Amino acid sequence: MNTADAIITCTALEKHYTRGGETVRVLESIDLSLERGAFVALMGPSGSGKTTLLNLFAGIDRPTAGSLTVDGHDIVKLSRAALAQWRASSVGYVFQLYHLVPVLTAYENVELPLYLQPISRRERHLRVSEALESVGIADRHAHYPRQLSGGQEQRVAIARAIVTQPALLLADEPTGDLDRTSAAGIMELLSHLHRDRGQTIVMVTHDPATAHHAQRTVFLEKGRLVDAPEVHR
Amino acid sequence: MINRRTLIGLIVLAWRGLVRRPTRSGLVVAGVMVAVFLFCTVDAMRTGVERATSRASQETALIVYRQNRFCPFTSALPQYYENAISKIPGVVSVTPVKIVVSNCRASLDVVTFRGVPAEDFALSHAASTSPREMSDWLKRGDSALLGKELAERRRLKAGDRFTAAGVDAYVAGIMQSDAPQDQSSAFVHLPFLQEQAKRGSTGGIVTQFDVRIADPSKLDEVALAIDAQFATDQTPTTTRAETAHVARAATDVIALIGFARLLGFAALAAVFALIANAIVLSMRSRQREVSVLQTLGFGGAHLATLVMVESLILGTVGGVLGAGASYAMVALSRTALTMEGVAIAVPPSIGIAVAGIVIAIALSLAAGLVPAVIASRQTIVCGFRS
């Protein structure tokens, strides 16, 4: 792949923690390049470092060593404030447990990241409405998270992640807490975002059936990329 | 650093967060409100005492009391002292006053009868009541002109009769004077009150003389001259400036208010602790929420601002409610502290209310500072692990 087409490029990426005086090597020597517009699944057993790698891509955690360029930014060198600003405009993140703000309605949760954008109130309203519409939850806009099902909450979380039109959408086991029907709906939605909008998606999952929706699957084991057959649709 | 649109968004976010956690926010606001109410009310009392007891540079009023007597029941002076006092150089007028109170101790509901020479009083207080009421008062020997606070407190109007401290009087009218001593007093004819309060002694006895002098700089000089005049008499006198007389009568109240003021400051310390505690607990229970906001791109400055705005809203709302309630209570209740026949009005003050609000705001900002710094420095991953 031409590096000019890559949205994520990492070289010799490492992440270590010190726990009880002992160094835990969560990620080791990760060399990876993911192309813009791709739908990539990160797979591996529990503790293999999938979520940590996703967090590094999102700039919500810092690598111990190595280089990491996302959407043209060397995010390792960005200051804390610059990194936050970059996240606000370039990354959308979907959590396994949705993490909606409980005292805000679906509309207000989706509106949250737009407070950081230099847009008018009218533009904000249009974008929120469009995002809610695109995830099929517009009729629940005035509902609080406690009034929504798991699948509906995750749809709101996806709307919140895409409302800023980020270059990169990261999803950490987006169907991990959902029943089969809701999970299928969420995967259909992500596929639709990728297919119709060309959205770059990197998704962590345990489930091969879920990974099946992705164009490419990257395997991790004990913090290292392993040679496994890449699954192409 | 934070643009206007984002700031408005953060304020809206903070407001929604507080309004939609009504129990927690309500309890904090109620705590702040009570503390600010206490502070403002005590400060209003302190201001009243300060006004009543601080000697003004232009003060010309002296009170002549019986020496070593501290209560209207025991201060008895011969009325004929009036002539001798009026001849002392510098004295402009002398008014013999008989005082009978329903309660000699400090109280918020005391009826103070002031027996005064009718003609002199009518001349000096002509503007305080309507000509018809004044004429009615002059005609009837058992009539009283009531201060408006006393009339409101006892729900009395012209034409009523009332009895207090063993004195039965007819209400000729209501006075509109703003002077504290007038507002909770019932002015009656001097001979009438002397007769009513005789209790075995003869008439011609008064409680005190109200003396006016021409030159404020000679207040102490004239006071000494009056006391020297009667030093070897059977009933020697002690003469003080009116404010000093009030201060002496209110010694115990002043001490109590001094202590209450400490309680007021303690209440403000409680405001600080209350808001700080509420914000710290709130942020601790919302660590994940903070991490979510950080993931969405909210930086340290945004989060610190959010916490400060929350703290500011709690302090401002509580401060406004507490100061407003205190102002309304003081203004509506028209409270006067009365002791030994001396009344000290507790005045409503916009200045005190504003000071209460400003202090609550300042304390809320100080209380939010540490939680704001903690929230701004929280790492995203740690927040999610919490």
Q: Count of alpha carbons within 13 Å of B257, Cβ hemisphere only?
A: 21
How many interface pairs between A and B have CB atoms less than 8 angstroms apart?
A: 68
Bridge partners, A225 (sequence order): A220
In whole angstroms, give the CA distance from residue A204 to residue A95: 10
Answer whether residue B61 is part of any domain. Answer: no
> Is pLDDT of A229 > 60?
no
Q: Is pLDDT at A1 greater than 80 in this prediction?
A: no
The enclosing H or E element of B217 equals none
Residues B38 and B146 in one domain: no
In a shared domain, residues B225 and B120: yes
pLDDT of residue B164: 83
Out of B235, B265, B289, pick the residue that ends a domain.
B235
- Whether B240 is in a domain gets the answer no
Domain identity same for B44 and B113: no
B297–A104 CB contact, under 8 Å: no
Cβ neighbours for A13, distance < 8 A, ≥ 6 positions apart: A27, A29, A30, A31, A32, A53, A56, A63, A65, A66, A67, A68
Residue A189 lies in a domain: yes
Select from B203, B235, B267 the last residue of a domain.
Answer: B235
Q: Say if A51 falls within a structural domain.
A: yes
User: Residue A18: which domain range?
Assistant: 3-99+167-225
Query: Is B59 inside any structural domain?
Result: no
Nearest alpha-carbon partner for B45 in B357, B258, B244, B248: B258
User: How much is the average pLDDT of A17-34?
Assistant: 91
A208 within a domain of the structure (yes/no): yes
Q: What token pair was written down for B137?
A: 């008062």
B72 and B200 assigned to the same domain: yes
Residue-number span of the structural domain to which B12 is assigned: 4-53+252-385
Cα→Cα distances B5→A118, A205, B217, B307, B337, Å: 7, 38, 63, 17, 52
Q: What does the block give as tokens for B46?
A: 């302190």
Q: How many Å lie between the alpha carbon of A99 and the closest alpha carbon of chain B?
A: 7
Q: Let me know if residue B199 belongs to a domain.
A: yes
Within this chain, do residues B106 and B129 fall inside the same structural domain, yes or no?
Answer: yes
**B264 and B189 within one domain:** no
A138 touching chain B per CB within 8 A: no
Same domain, B261 and B223: no
Contact B3 A113 (CB under 8 A): no
d(CA A98, CA A83): 22
Task: Assess contact for B77 and B207: CB atoms under 8 A.
Answer: yes
Q: Which residues of chain B are within 8 Å of residue A160 when distances are taken between CB atoms?
A: 296
B242, part of any domain: no
Whether A188 maps to a domain, the answer reads yes
CATH of the domain at A199: 3.40.50.300
Residues B220 and B91 in one domain: yes
Nearest CB neighbour to A87, from listed B16, B297, B301: B297
Interface touch A112/B293, C-beta < 8 Å: yes
Report the DSSP beta bridge partners of residue A22.
Answer: A19
Q: Are residues B137 and B285 in the same domain?
A: no
* pLDDT surpasses 60 at A2: no
Residue A153 covered by a domain: no
Q: Give the residue numbers in B contacting A (CB under 8 Å), as ranges.
A: 3, 5-6, 9-10, 13, 16-17, 20-21, 288-289, 291-302, 380-381
The answer to the question of residue B93 being in a domain is yes
Determine the pLDDT at residue B80. 92
Higher-pLDDT residue of B272, A140: A140
Provide the token pair at A29: 């020597």
User: pLDDT tens digit string along B23-60?
Assistant: 999 999 999 999 999 999 989 988 888 877 776 667 88
Residue with the larger pLDDT of the pair A231 and B105:
B105
Whether A99 and B6 lie within 8 Å, measured CB to CB: no
On whether the CB atoms of residues B159 and B186 are closer than 8 A, the answer is no
- Which residues contact residue A9 at a Cβ distance below 8 angstroms, ignoring those fewer than 6 apart? A3, A32, A33, A34, A67, A68, A69
A233 or B202: which leads in pLDDT? B202
Rounded to the nearest angstrom, the minimum Cα separation between B15 and chain A is 11
The span from the CA of B321 to the CA of B34, in Å, is: 9
| Count of domains forming chain B | 2
Q: Is residue A60 part of a domain?
A: yes
Q: Are A150 and A182 in contact (CB under 8 A)?
A: yes
Q: Do A87 and B16 touch (CB under 8 A)?
A: no
Q: Report pLDDT for A232.
A: 44
State both tokens at B118: 């009718």
B346 domain-assigned: yes
Instruction: Note whether residue A144 is domain-resident.
Output: no
Residue in chain A lying closest to B297 (CA): A88
Domain end: B172, B202, B235, which one? B235
Q: Which two tokens stand for residue A159?
A: 């709307």
Q: Do B298 and B158 belong to one domain?
A: no
Helical spans, DSSP H, in B189-238: 190-196, 219-229
Within a domain: residue A110?
no
CB atoms A115 and B295 under 8 Å: no
State whether B47 and B121 are in the same domain. Answer: no
CA–CA distance, B82 with B204 (Å, rounded to integer)? 11
Is position B101 within any domain? yes
Query: What per-residue string of b and e applies to A193-208 under the rule 16 or more CB within 10 Å gives b?
Result: bbeeeebbbbbbbeee
CA dihedral (B280, B282, B285, B287) in degrees, to 10, reads: -70
Domain identity same for B127 and B20:
no
Give rounded-to-5 percent helix, strand, coil for chain A.
40, 25, 35
Report helix, strand or coil for B212.
strand
Residue with tokens 């953060």: B10
DSSP state, residue A115: G
Q: In total, how many domains does chain A have?
A: 1
CB-based contact A85 B297, cutoff 8 Å: yes
Q: Where are the alpha helices (DSSP H) in chain A?
A: 50-58, 80-90, 106-111, 121-134, 150-162, 180-197, 208-211
With a cut of 70, which residues of chain B have pLDDT below it?
55-57, 104-109, 180, 198-203, 340-341
B-chain residues within 8 Å CB-CB of A103?
16-17, 20-21
Q: pLDDT tens-digit profile of A172-186?
A: 999 988 898 999 999
CB B18 within 8 A of CB A103: no
Cβ pair B292:A99 closer than 8 A: yes
The pLDDT tens digits for B242-297 are 888 888 777 777 888 888 888 888 888 888 888 888 888 888 888 999 999 999 99
How many CB atoms sit inside 10 A of residue A98's CB? 23
